[in-house]
Amino acid sequence: MKNKNWIDANAKNALLPQAGQMVWAAVPNVIICAHQTFLLYLDSDGQWRDNTGCLFSRRVNFWQSADLPECNISC
């Protein structure tokens, strides 16, 4: 990952996103020898979760901000 927009989540004194902020997270995949990206957020306990709130158990190596449009649909 040479893109300067990606932040190393495992570096000493790593900068982590604010709780609840959706980010693109890069996770290593040993089968394809590459990183996969997922849309995740950190909860208030520092646990990575997916967009449905489920705990994400894989190790995040890198992350970058995700600019997402706000949903203005009334349910």
pLDDT at 73: 78
For 31-48, how does the pLDDT look when each residue is reduced to its tens digit (9 = 90+)? 999 999 999 999 999 999
The type of residue at 31 is I
pTM of the model: 0.78
Residue 4 pLDDT greater than 70, yes or no: no
Residue 23 pLDDT greater than 50, yes or no: yes
- Higher-confidence residue of 63 and 51: namely 63
pLDDT averaged over the chain?
A: 88
Average pLDDT over residues 55-62: 94
